[in-house]
Amino acid sequence: MLGYILRRLLATIPVLGIVAVLVFLMLRLTPGDPAAVIAGDNATTAQIEAIRAKLGLDQPIITQFGIWAGNLLHGNLGESFFFKKSIGELILGRIEPTLSLAIATMLIAVCVAIPLGVLAAYKHGSWIDRIVMGFSVLGFSVPVFVIGYLLIYVFAITLGWLPVQGYQPISGGFGGFIQRLILPAVTLSVIYIALIARMTRASVLEVLSEDYIRTARAKGQVERKILFRHALKNAAVPIVTVVGIGIALLIGGVVVTESVFAIPGLGRLTVDAVLARDYPTIQAVILLFSVVYVAINLGIDLAYCLFDPRIKY
């Protein structure tokens, strides 16, 4: 297994390199000038050119990439054009809200979706199954921002149970932290509940027709034990896989959700950086998301052998 892990880790190096090159080229070949954004509407051409020279944007693209890649290899993410701060400081200051939202979202999704999927498979063809599948279709069909505004209107404006927007760090009090995290986490978890519940239903339904399930029932074992110990455990590999795929969707969902709920996380930072054409910040955030995505998928691959001992690396 150690050799497999090393090969996978080495394989991430060219992947991250390709991502870095593509992001670098896409940002610089698209219309827009960060120097003009920084200078403002009333700036003269000379002022804009002076800012371009100061930021190094007047140099060839290959030279710019070489300077950025060299700094990156030395652990220097650079300085933000727009925020005038070290990008490392920016990311550290914004990572807590995003991490809290992501963890809360996946906890809600997994704790709700897996029992729903198992129940739908057990009650295959019943009204419970139809409701779960209908919810899955609805969860995929409705955009995240629509769900967010709907929940804000119902639970924040109409009922007044929860705050409309904002974020409170956990150091400011756990009650306020949870209170402001519930709405965005539930909003973002809807699509993952739909995705995971649908996959859980399909996997468990396939396993329920196996011979060892009939044998367990013939031995008189409790149905709940059959469903969760025998069926769910043997159906876990595709479920874990789809949870890993959900991490990719989570990156895009965080950007939209943080914008809707005014959460000062990495998603909001990405939006602000894109609007300001802040090249170094956008590149650093995308690379961070890429590293996290690769690491989580590696962890999921290694977890397969825990659910199915027949899998060897």
Summarised one tens digit per residue, pLDDT across range 285-309 is: 888 888 888 778 777 777 777 776 6
Residue 86 has pLDDT above 80, yes or no: yes
Average pLDDT, the chain: 79
Residues 6+ apart with CB under 8 A from 207: 213, 230, 231, 234, 235
Residue 312 has pLDDT above 70, yes or no: no
Q: Report whether 309 contacts 30 (CB < 8 A).
A: no
Pick from 182, 178, 179, 200: nearest CA to 246? 200
Residue with tokens 């995971």: 196
Residue with tokens 């914008």: 259
Summarised one tens digit per residue, pLDDT across range 32-74 is: 666 776 666 677 777 777 877 776 777 777 887 787 777 777 7
Q: Name the residue ranges covered by the structural domains of the chain.
A: 2-73, 95-307
Burial pattern 115-149, b for ≥16 Cβ within 10 A else e, equals ebbbbbbbeeeeeebeebeebbeebeeeebeebbe
- pLDDT, position 37: 66
Summarised one tens digit per residue, pLDDT across range 24-34 is: 777 677 666 66
Q: What is the pTM of this model?
A: 0.78
Write out the DSSP string of 109-125: HHHHHHHHHHHHHHTTT
Q: With bands split at pLDDT 50, 70 and 90, how would you rate the model's confidence at 252? A: low
**CATH architecture for the domain at 95-307:** Orthogonal Bundle (1.10)
For residue 228, the 8-state DSSP code is: I
Distances 173 to 9, 99, 168, 258 between C-alpha atoms, Å: 39, 17, 8, 20
Task: Give the residue-averaged pLDDT of 176-202.
Answer: 86
For residue 239 the two structure tokens come to 């479920």
Q: Report whether 288 contacts 77 (CB < 8 A).
A: no
Q: What is the spatial distance between Cα 189 and Cα 234, in angstroms, rounded to a whole number?
A: 25
Q: With bands split at pLDDT 50, 70 and 90, how would you rate the model's confidence at 1? A: low
Summarised one tens digit per residue, pLDDT across range 208-220 is: 777 777 777 787 7
